[in-house]
Amino acid sequence: MTNNNSNSQSENINTMTFTSTTANPNDLKPHQMLIEMGYGHTPDPYFIESLKYFNQYDKPVIDKENNVVTHLADVLAAKENGMVSLEVYQMQMTSSLETNYGKEKRKSENKMIVAQLEQLKRQLFVASFFSGVGGFDRGARRAGFQTIIQSDYWDVAAKAFELNISNRGSGKYCHLQSEGIYLAGEMLGNITEMRFDQIQQLIREHLKIHVGIGDLDVMIGGPPCQDQSKCNNFRDILGEKNHLIFPYLDMIEAAQPRVALIEQVPDMLGPVFEILWQKVRSRLNRMRNYTWNYKVMNAKDYGARQDRKRLIIMLVRRDLNVPVSFPEPTTPDLSKVAVQSLLPEVYHFSPGQYADDIKSAKDNVFCTMTASGSEYVYGLDGVRRKPTINERLVLTELEGLNLDGISTTDQKILLGNMVQISFSEALFRHIKTNILKVAD
C-alpha cells in the first residue's frame, strides 16, 4: 500500500497499488492472465482488463454442475469505481472449461488458461464482533479464512491488535492489506451503534473491497459473558451485557452472512437465565433466512490447551441447503497439550475458585483460564503461585504476543476472555468443508 499524495499520509488512508506482469492491457492475450491477488483486496487492474479481453476473445462456458457460472462476464462482476464484488473471489473455477471455437490448435492455450483461472481460488471472508485479543480470528486464519473487520468496545483490545500487526510494511495503514480493520471504542466499537452499511463503507474505503449483503462467508461474535458467568458473584439476568446478543443478531440479519457463530458460556442454558434463553431462541426463530442449532462444546476436545466448555450457536443461511452441524470431538493428545508438556516446571494446577480442585499437570490440560486470573500452579516444591503472563500466553497458544504497555490486569482479562485458537480453527475447518463446501 502506498500513498498517492505523500503530503496527506497522516490524513488519508493510503491507496492500494498492484503489480502486473503485463505492461499494457491492449497487449493482453488469454494465456497472459496471471493473477496476482493478495489478501482481501481488488485484483490488479490489468487482471480486470485481461478478463474483459478474454471474455470478448473466447467466451468460455464453465461447467454448471461444478457450481460455477456460465460466462466469465459473471465472474468479472465489476462494481463501483473499478472495485470488484467478492463474487470475483468466490467462484470455484474448474478444469471443465469449454470454448466456442473448439479448434485443435488452441487446446494447449486452453489448458494454460484453465490453470490460471484456477488460481482464482475462493477467499473466505469473516466479520468479527466482540473480537478482544482475536482468538476467534486467529483460528479462522489457520483454517484459511480472512477477517476483514474486527471490532470491540474495549480500546485495550485494539491496542493489542496494533501491537501485533504482522505486516506493517511502509506507510501508516499498510497493515490493512493483511490484517483487516479493527474498530474500537465507545463509538466505533459499540455494537449497539453499528450499522452494516457503515461497515460496508469502511471496508470499501480502506480495503478497496465491495462487500454486498450476503457476500460475507462467516460472521463471528462472543458477546460479553460477565453477567452470566458463574465466576461473577453478582451475575444478573438484567445485566446490560446479557442483551448485547440482540444487536449482534440484528447485524447478522442486516449483513446476511452465509454462516454466523455466537460463542457464550453454557450458563445461558441454565435455569437462572431461562427467560433470556427463551428470548434469544425466539429472536433466532424469527430469522427466516436461517436455520440454527446449538451445542455445548469443550475446547480441549478440539486441540486447545484448556478444559473450557462453551455454548456455540450456529446459523446457516437457508439458500445453502446445508443443515447446521458441528465438528466431532477428538481425544486430547496429552503429549502436546498437557500442562507439563507445555510448562515443564509446573507439576500441579488448580482453578483457584469453588472447590479449588488440584490436578496433575502431567495428565491434564489446564483449567478454564478466567479474566480474573484466579488460577494457581504448583512447582516441584509444592509452593502455590499465580501463572506468569508468559505462562498464560503459552496456555492460550499466544506465545510471543506483544502486550507491552498493557497493564497486567488487562492482559489477564484479554487472555481470560478469548476463544481458544485451536477450538476456533476446528469450527472453521468444519464450516469450510461441511457447510460452505470449499476444499482446502
Kindly write down the DSSP assignment for every residue of 115-135, as one continuous string.
Answer: HHHTTSPPPEEEEEES-TT-H
Q: Which residues contact 90 (CB under 8 A, 6 or more apart)?
A: 122, 123, 215, 217
pLDDT digits over 29-51, tens only?
332 222 222 223 334 343 444 44
How confident is the model at residue 175, as a pLDDT?
A: 52
Confidence of residue 260 (pLDDT cuts 50, 70, 90): very high
Mean per-residue pLDDT over the chain, rounded: 75
CATH code of the region 124-330+420-435: 3.40.50.150
**Cβ burial, residue 88 (10 Å; 0-12/13-18/19+):** buried
Judged against a pLDDT cut of 80, whether residue 208 lies above it is answered with no
Average pLDDT over residues 301-330: 97
Judged against a pLDDT cut of 50, whether residue 216 lies above it is answered with yes
What gap in Å lies between CA 365 and CA 306, rounded to an integer? 5
- Please check whether residue 256 is in contact with residue 214, taking contact to mean a CB–CB distance below 8 angstroms: yes
What gap in Å lies between CA 148 and CA 140, rounded to an integer? 11
Confidence of residue 186 (pLDDT cuts 50, 70, 90): confident
How confident is the model at residue 391, as a pLDDT?
A: 98
How confident is the model at residue 223, as a pLDDT?
A: 87
Q: Which residues contact 268 (CB under 8 A, 6 or more apart)?
A: 228, 276, 277, 280, 311
Confidence of residue 267 (pLDDT cuts 50, 70, 90): confident
Average pLDDT over residues 135-146: 94
What gap in Å lies between CA 324 and CA 262, rounded to an integer? 13
Judged against a pLDDT cut of 90, whether residue 221 lies above it is answered with yes
Judged against a pLDDT cut of 60, whether residue 368 lies above it is answered with yes
Q: Which three cell numbers stand for residue 77?
A: 462482476
Start-end ranges of CATH 3.40.50.150 in the chain?
124-330+420-435
How confident is the model at residue 63, as a pLDDT?
A: 35
How confident is the model at residue 346, as a pLDDT?
A: 98
pLDDT digits over 171-185, tens only?
444 555 557 889 988
How confident is the model at residue 179, as a pLDDT?
A: 72
| Top-confidence residue, 304 or 117 | 304
Judged against a pLDDT cut of 70, whether residue 59 lies above it is answered with no
- Please check whether residue 139 is in contact with residue 170, taking contact to mean a CB–CB distance below 8 angstroms: no
What gap in Å lies between CA 74 and CA 159, rounded to an integer? 41
How confident is the model at residue 1, as a pLDDT?
A: 33
Of these ranges, 54-58, 99-103, 365-369, the one predicted with the greatest mean pLDDT is 365-369
Grid cell 488460577 — which residue?
A: 375
**Cβ burial, residue 285 (10 Å; 0-12/13-18/19+):** exposed
Average pLDDT over residues 68-72: 35
- Please check whether residue 217 is in contact with residue 126, taking contact to mean a CB–CB distance below 8 angstroms: yes
How confident is the model at residue 27, as a pLDDT?
A: 38
Grid cell 453499528 — which residue?
A: 194
Which phi and psi (to 5°) does residue 305 adopt? -100, 15
Judged against a pLDDT cut of 90, whether residue 132 lies above it is answered with yes
Q: Which three cell numbers stand for residue 385?
A: 503461585
